[in-house]
Amino acid sequence: MRPSRSLAPAVLALALVLSLPYDALPHARVSAGKPPAPSPFGASCRTTVSGSHVVAYCHNPYVDIDRVRLHIECARWWDIDTDSAPVDAGPALTVRLTGRCWKEVRSVWISHQKAR
């Protein structure tokens, strides 16, 4: 018995597909289960307290814009704590933040936020 001529091309195509190496076959991309590493972010800041005056310099070495704010807690109960306006530290920029208390400074810190 001779196979039909219309069946021969289909069998030949199936044989070629099955003989392809595994890497040549298309397959769905499946993640390895790990989330991608977060991109580096955040300006590095240094603060200086001189009496009741505070100065902070923040340098952003990364591509994303970092919105920084200076927060000052004053030592006296009647002295008002202050938060500066947010300042955008763009890529490769250094920004200066200042603030003060009437009397002594208890603590100083910088907050960071990703600008959209």
With 70 as the cut, is the pLDDT of residue 101 above it? yes
**H or E element in which residue 29 lies:** none
Rounded distance between C-alpha atoms, residue 5 and residue 11, angstroms = 10
- Per-residue pLDDT tens digits for 7-55: 777 776 766 666 666 555 565 666 667 787 888 889 999 999 999 999 9
Structure tokens at 9: 């091309």
pTM score over 0.75: no
**60 and 114 in contact (C-beta within 8 Å)?**
no
Average pLDDT of every residue of the chain: 85
Average pLDDT in the 76-92 region? 94
